[in-house]
Structure 1
């Protein structure tokens, strides 16, 4: 209750400051200028993001769903080896989001991180399509039931090069797309803040639609029409995803990189340990990095002080935190 009331008061004060012309959360346009609230963000921007996510998921699951079958049937791997390779690749896809999230938060911002890793993603999709289409890049067909020539090291190398480019690409954009969609709603505006929950509902709906189409139609195409077409269609949809996303650039709201939360969390833990014997002041306002109502990070608010993480209180002062880390 108190947190909601505080946020509401902040939203009123910020709305008064910019007279409702600009957003109150510090968002800017592609050129770094304050955005016009009525002409950017909201659903008109999110429609491009949702279309991008649907196409990207269709492309991803178009590769992942039937990958074991391709490794065993076309690259002539054994079942154990194929399952191992797919599991390693899938694990890589879930590890690489750490790279994308760190780059987006600390250096590039979400938009440019999506741009870079989407390009890598598309190159990987095209490489995979070529490896399944050009005869010299794939093993010969089996002769009879038992004589199956194995793939050469070069054929393996090209295929897995494209596959792991996809893992890097999907991991790079995975933590950014949903957050970038959330950026299109101004948290200081109660009406826009309420719409953010609906956005996430539609976001996961888009994921499921892409997955459904891939798990049914794309698997059928790969089995009946060939793997070149079966990989080529997901590559085409990845191209559509990129085009859709960048078509909405004039409508987007951007948040400037504010530093990685992983770095700040580690700084807090180190400072907390170094300052563990300090006495916490009675005045909780002395525990914040700034005396203003807002956080030092543009577009965010100071968290209310409580006793749940009281053992970290001695590290909340940014000056003391940095001094503890550097000294």
Structure 2
């Protein structure tokens, strides 16, 4: 699975990283239209990931969903390559290929879940190997993004768009070949269990109908069907879930009354496992919410970090290093932190905590939330020094990074903040992959894994809203504000301090969520 995902992400980042330039150079869109096109495409891709996850859990199963969506990706990349190689590319054909590619890449939560399915989480060794899988799986994504976002972008910019898109098309074919070649080795296939949305709706309706019924004090008095194999008869392939005391009002859906015996219906009487499915999802939502602010701060790498770096000296001798390229140090940081975490940090933590994974999943994510606050402090500290350099040299209006005039301060001073962001990513984003998979009901793992994607998407929207609000609120009364067009007259340091404070506050709220959270338990 990691090799398959690496090929997929080489192809994806080769297209997405330089997409705005293709739209401007080959389809002749202006900068604003091109930027909006990229944003709309990415947003649609995030939404489609939930569609793919729903199809996998409800109807197709994870294996066949991956196979189908990967074939869609191949068709998409071929269409994009044909357009890129044409002397006068068709905008309509390009957008059809682009959105098909977004649809094909929407299977990512399903791939994550299918990979996790290959490990037996009923024993300690299986859980250790599963946890290690998520680390190395994420590593493969970063290798893919590094190659696609650098080597292939260089090919597009310096050789030809046709070759720069043809290589991703070849990678998509190789991804399909690698996935299908492993068919005989895949050990577990979670069968589709019907619509999870329907099951959730049945619990809500049944509980609402019985709002006057008192839930019993003992869980043994609640309704639970069992098949001959000890599995829940109402959810195919799903292990039974143990009753939990949170959200007790939902237990009413599993209270059997005289009317239920006379008129049996899943919209009137649900099993304990079905009720606990909904409880699992509800417990995940506050954790998801904490990831939104994390993502909003994380994506500053592609916005305010770039604005800051554009004014700094990009030269090493006669060689120019654009500010956007410095983000490669974040990718390198992740690639170094993954083996360090898996081979050093986890064994050491295991000795101290006695936990099989070194840290609990919630603890791991919490560490990342705190580390990101340090990255914002590092960015703010550099901004204070940048403003001091501007003041010393009187470069408020003569240096904007656009006229070949740069501050006498190297862009490589940004490296520490990118490295710290990479460390935070390893703890939180990989922790999210593992957590949302592990804490989801068996029949909803793809859909719940998609929640981490939703969290990241909402974080992007929050970042845009935060920048807009801060820029307008601080520019009242004729002031330049924190984030003006002339960035040297702004106060990016204050914006970074604000993000650091928000990150710290997020950690505080997260600690309350982690203390409240109840881990899922299955009935053996």
Shorter-chain TM-score above 0.5: yes
Tell me the equivalent position of 1:125.
77
Rounded Cα–Cα distance in structure 2 between residues aligned with 1:104 and 1:232: 29
Tell me the equivalent position of 2:92.
157
Superposed CA RMSD: 2.1
Tell me the equivalent position of 1:169.
104
The structure-2 alpha-carbon separation of the partners of 1:278 and 1:230, relative to structure 1 and needing over 3 Å to count, comes to same
What does 1:115-264 correspond to in 2, within 5 Å? 115-135=67-87, 137-138=88-89, 155-171=90-106, 173-252=107-186, 253-264=188-199
Rounded Cα–Cα distance in structure 1 between residues aligned with 2:218 and 2:245: 13
Tell me the equivalent position of 1:92.
44
Q: Which segment drifts farther, 189-198 or 94-103?
A: 189-198
TM-score normalised by the chain length of structure 1:
0.74
Q: Secondary structure at the match of 1:304?
A: coil
Show structure 1 runs of 5+ residues with no match.
Answer: 1-48, 139-154
Tell me the equivalent position of 2:8.
56
Rounded Cα–Cα distance in structure 2 between residues aligned with 1:197 and 1:231: 34
Shift of 1:299: 4.9
Tell me the equivalent position of 1:26.
none
Show structure 2 runs of 5+ residues with no match.
Answer: 271-524
Q: Deviations over 1:105-147 (max 9, x none)?
A: 1111001011111111110000000001122x52xxxxxxxxx
Tell me the equivalent position of 2:61.
109
Q: Secondary structure at the match of 1:313?
A: helix
Q: Secondary structure at the match of 1:322?
A: coil
Do the aligned partners of 1:109 and 1:256 also contact (CA within 8 Å) in 2? yes
Q: Deviations over 1:187-235 (max 9, x none)?
A: 2333222211011011111111111111111111110011101111111
Do the aligned partners of 2:74 and 2:173 also contact (CA within 8 Å) in 1? yes
Tell me the equivalent position of 1:322.
266
Rounded Cα–Cα distance in structure 1 between residues aligned with 2:22 and 2:47: 23
Between 1 and 2, higher relative CO (CA 8 Å, sep ≥ 6) is seen in: 1
Rounded Cα–Cα distance in structure 2 between residues aligned with 1:130 and 1:215: 21
Q: Secondary structure at the match of 1:182?
A: helix
Shift of 1:244: 0.5
Rounded Cα–Cα distance in structure 1 between residues aligned with 2:267 and 2:18: 53
Q: Deviations over 1:23-61 (max 9, x none)?
A: xxxxxxxxxxxxxxxxxxxxxxxxxx1111111011111
Count of residue pairs the alignment pairs up = 260
Rounded Cα–Cα distance in structure 1 between residues aligned with 2:98 and 2:144: 19
Tell me the equivalent position of 1:295.
232
Shift of 1:170: 0.8
TM-score normalised by the chain length of structure 2:
0.47
